[in-house]
Structure 1
Amino acid sequence: MQLQITSPLGPILILDDIEAGRMHLSALFIAARGEAVAPLDAPHGPVPPAPLAHYDRATVWRARFALPADRPSQYRWNGTTYEVAGDLTGDLRIAYVSCNGEEIGDLSREGSERNAMWARLGDEHRRRPCALLLHGGDQVYADEVTKGHDLSRDWPERVARDPAPAALADLEHHLRERFLERYVAIYGAPEFAWLAARVPSLMQWDDHDICDGWGSLPASRTESPVGQTLFAVARESFLVFQHAAADGDLPARFADPEGRHLGWTVDGPDLRILAPDLRSERTRRRVMGPGGWAMMDNEARRDTRGHTLLLSSVPLLGPRLSLLETLLVLIPRMQKYEDDLRDQWQSRAHRDEWRRMLRLVRDLARRDGHDITAISGEIHLAGRAAMDLGDGLHLNQLVASGIAHRAPPKAWARVLGALARLGEDPLPEHPIRVERLPGQRTRYVAERNYLLLERDAGGWSARWELEASGTTQPLTL
């Protein structure tokens, strides 16, 4: 792909934090290098964008400003007025998306096909506006960025053991430019761009934002100089393009200002959005490291009001994937899928950690006195599950995946549904049930989809928008 930016891309709204009744926002722009970006007209006056990152042919710019969090408002840029729903105090609507791409050939897909569900979400926003847009992982599919360089072209099958510093520097440059190309293509899509300029986004990463299976690959790959270079560039790109941030300049919602892990929390009126980082500290033997667990333990001790939305990029509740994992290991030609299953909380390698997380979620719910809703993507299907937490409380797991990734065969949904019938109770005193979506005959639905979360008169509900089946009936949470 030959990068061409004929006019600035943006604005793309990122929610930095909510404080004192105001939404603190960043507006992201991508312009041709050497081209200035016009000031943004905020309610308190003009805000000139500042450079955030430089590339060979482009510069990323950011303008930080604030809007009210208790009523609709607007801002202007380059002659266009952008309406922002913004009222987080009463009835509220939040959209959730994940898996915005595909592993192979994503940049060459025809735009209206690729972004059909983005267009549908835009139409839904016009009908009844969304106040926030949550992205649950795999916002880009970066699997092909390693192609075209001698050090990474065979990643992860073959990795150079001791590359020269100059070669690694050249690889870093190659990867930065390839990541830029992917973000330009995705953010420049009109279906996405229209919505992203009007609805503040909050993003959480998953493996494809780095490479397929990052953290579940062998340490000989991820800890190698090539692997560490790939992770460093992916992490920089994640901060720049998905958070409008850089090291030393993270928004206040991040739990670790040093960025050793990238988990974050946002507190709104009677709402907590909690997004642990399931990638930065991941290895084949753990999902989260010391920083991630410290964040979650702190949240379990913190007094909050209202509903908690827990973003878990891989589903926290689901079928007995450990059984499938065991079978695949025994079949040589299927072992290539082992990394995909090791990515899951239900993997045999993570079972103790999974129990720890479920107990922590139970404690969160009991301290807050409210049900908790976990929202996930990753599996390219729509689905839901529930766990009885005791004391009349429940953990609801909603899966919406993906908005652009084409659906897998329906047979895969049936396999997962069959595994779900076997049951999976890592905490025997808290049984898990994999349920059907409202109006659906199967437990998992193999259609592209997104999720709408709605608070009406203090009560929460969820609806899935399915590409072929349409909108489900609301599910009370």
Structure 2
Amino acid sequence: MPVTAHLLIGPVLRRVVGARATVWVETTEPTFVRVEAEGGAAGSAQTFSAYGHHYAIVVVEDLLPDADHPYRVTLDGREVWPLADSPYPPSFIRTRPADDAEHPVRLIFGSCREATPHATARKLPPDALDAYARRLMTDPQDPDLRPDLIVLLGDQVYADKPTAKIRKFLKRRRAAGYHGPDDEVVSFDEYTKLYLESWRDPEVRWLFATVPSVMIFDDHEIIDDWNTSSSWREEMNEQGWWRERISAGLASYWVYQHLGNLSPDQLAADPLLHKVTTVDDATDLLHDFGLAVDRPESADNTDRPYQWSFALDLGRTRLVMLDNRCNRVLVRGGREMLPAQEWNWFVDQAHGDYDHLVVGSSLPWLMPPAIHNVEAWNEQSADAPSRRRAGNAERLRRMVDLEHWAAFRKSFEALTELFRRLGEGGDGSPTHRVGLSGAYRAPETISVLSGDVHHSYVAKADLGPGVTTPVHQLTCSPIHNQVPAFMRPLMRFSWSRAAARVTRTMAEKAGVPEAPLRWQRLAGPYFGNAVSTLRHRGAHAEMTIEGTSPDGELFEVATVELRP
């Protein structure tokens, strides 16, 4: 008798590009997946299998422009979505107008989301993504409520800090002989439990089935402080379980998160997807892939086996999401957030025909000034000729997470200069980009979306009188987590002028040049769970931070117009 397949996770609506959309699912058995939308649009795919799990990403074709398309999912011809007893509104695919140059764009974003409250012993404030979903359910077709895209900026799952439920599962696994730490996931199968726990949250499941989403990792998808420094890598490589952890972490990220970041055309051209969908069992392929893409980066090695950064256009908004973790250059004295080849790709993407540039960076570009100064001082000290001084600085770097853009000064300055050149418009070749020249119209706005730091704020950059484009750092974190109470006064103080003066003096004595820009805080810091909205309409842009009340409702923390 044939085995009946069921939906395990999904459907997850990922990209909507013109008349096409991508829908991702995980099923309990191998099966034929079909997605049918009102109006005759449809797509299908056979699942691929790896590590005993089964997945498909379906490209839905022939959607009508500027329309809502309720859809259903069938497995081997049997309808499994929408759920028969669902109390939630139907899921649908929303397309933009065929000519949407004047159509507004609305993004919601955030980072750092632990699993739902019933899965964790910690008493965290209400989940902001749950709260957003509940509000959208009141009228999913209301353009003032419904975003065009969800942008998740890292720590979608916590491999190194799982919930009590997952820890119990791991304890049983370790007792049965599966190696690894008792309280951290290691294998691909263990990673699947993280996604199952987080993405089957009922409200979030409905939201992911209804609103397109893109994602990038931060450290906790792998482990805290992932790729902080070369010495960190050396220490991790000595752990007997590390090779399986990094292979499983990157392979599962590719399956669960990265596949959905790709457009239909990019999916068709992806060599790994082609391979895994043409073999009976892709376990070995994904295992080897996970190890290959973790290859250490050096300053003169530009041959990367895979690029996690990606870009997309939405109306007159261009979003470029950057990998701040996997492809770092960690060479002493030559640290970079992105290797040269990927940096050049980013610069290419930053030039083009758009009105608003949005850069997704899991780690903030602009931190509180005092923290910026400490990170720049620490990097300079870690490169000191004195072995003792360098060693102490390296230990401090890892102990207190001194690893943001300020701790990669070469990249911080390159990004700042790129924004300056873009904001000035006219002729010019942005820094570190050979052979690119020509006239460019300055964007209406440049915004850097970030998370990681477990508080939310808006900061405005001052890049000089020649820059006509307003440039802002927009940070929203956490969606569902919290910063320890004792740290909050310290983080507030780090924004003060007094703290900035003291730490700048320390950095100056170490030989750190002054930062090539100034910035000021416009809103925050806010320490509660939050989700933020970025709106673009013509030349206008604004950002709203919304927190969660004790009863799980959203309330406005701050709204900031992003103007010169």
- TM-score normalised per structure 1: 0.79
1:304 aligns with 2:326: no
1:309–1:191 Cα change, 3 Å: same
- The percent of aligned pairs where both chains have the same amino acid is 18
1:239 aligns with 2:320: no
Q: How far apart are 1:6 and its partner, in Å?
A: 7.1
**Which among 355, 363, 371 is matched to residue 421 of structure 2?**
363
* Matched residue count: 440
Corresponding residue number in structure 1 for 2:500? 422
Q: Could you say what secondary structure the match of 2:326 adopts? A: coil
1:281/1:288 contact within 8 Å kept: yes
1:475 aligns with 2:563: no
Matches within 5 A, 1:196-215: 196-215=208-227
Structure-2 separation of matches of 1:287 and 1:476: 29
Structure-1 separation of matches of 2:352 and 2:496: 40
Corresponding residue number in structure 2 for 1:277? 323
The code of the aligned residue for 2:345 comes to M
Corresponding residue number in structure 2 for 1:153? 181
**Which among 97, 110, 116 is matched to residue 127 of structure 2?**
116
Corresponding residue number in structure 2 for 1:167? none
Let me know the Cα RMSD of the aligned residues: 3.9
2:483/2:527 contact within 8 Å kept: yes
1:13 aligns with 2:13: yes
1:39–1:226 Cα change, 3 Å: same
1:183 aligns with 2:183: no
Further displaced range: 380-389 or 249-258: 249-258
1:412–1:63 Cα change, 3 Å: farther
**Which among 193, 209, 213 is matched to residue 205 of structure 2?**
193
Further displaced range: 117-126 or 191-200: 117-126
Q: How far apart are 1:396 and its partner, in Å?
A: 0.5
2:131/2:548 contact within 8 Å kept: no
Q: How far apart are 1:84 and its partner, in Å?
A: 3.2
1:250–1:340 Cα change, 3 Å: farther
Q: How far apart are 1:223 and its partner, in Å?
A: 5.0
1:91/1:455 contact within 8 Å kept: yes
**Which among 234, 238, 251 is matched to residue 220 of structure 1?**
234
**Which among 442, 446, 453 is matched to residue 372 of structure 1?**
446
Q: How far apart are 1:48 and its partner, in Å?
A: 2.9
Further displaced range: 142-151 or 24-33: 142-151
Corresponding residue number in structure 2 for 1:383? 457
**Which among 21, 24, 27 is matched to residue 25 of structure 1?**
21
Q: How far apart are 1:82 and its partner, in Å?
A: 1.7
2:161/2:183 contact within 8 Å kept: no
1:30–1:122 Cα change, 3 Å: same
2:6/2:29 contact within 8 Å kept: no
Corresponding residue number in structure 2 for 1:64? 59
Structure-1 separation of matches of 2:28 and 2:457: 42
**Which among 524, 527, 530 is matched to residue 446 of structure 1?**
527
Structure-1 separation of matches of 2:411 and 2:542: 29
The code of the aligned residue for 1:313 comes to S
1:68–1:400 Cα change, 3 Å: farther
Corresponding residue number in structure 1 for 2:482? 406
1:380/1:408 contact within 8 Å kept: no
Structure-2 separation of matches of 1:112 and 1:38: 39
Corresponding residue number in structure 1 for 2:367? 318
2:336/2:411 contact within 8 Å kept: yes
2:124/2:481 contact within 8 Å kept: no
User: Could you give the per-residue CA deviations for residues 382-412 of structure 1, whole angstroms, max 9, x where no partner exists?
Assistant: 0121112333222110000011112432324
1:40/1:48 contact within 8 Å kept: yes
Corresponding residue number in structure 1 for 2:473? 397
**Which among 89, 92, 97 is matched to residue 105 of structure 2?**
92
- Any stretches of 5+ residues in structure 2 without a counterpart? 74-79, 83-89, 140-144, 273-303, 383-388, 426-439
- TM-score normalised per structure 2: 0.68
Matches within 5 A, 1:30-45: 30-34=26-30, 36=31, 39-42=34-37, 43-45=39-41
Q: How far apart are 1:305 and its partner, in Å?
A: 1.7
Q: How far apart are 1:451 and its partner, in Å?
A: 0.5
Corresponding residue number in structure 2 for 1:166? none
Q: Could you say what secondary structure the match of 2:459 adopts? A: strand
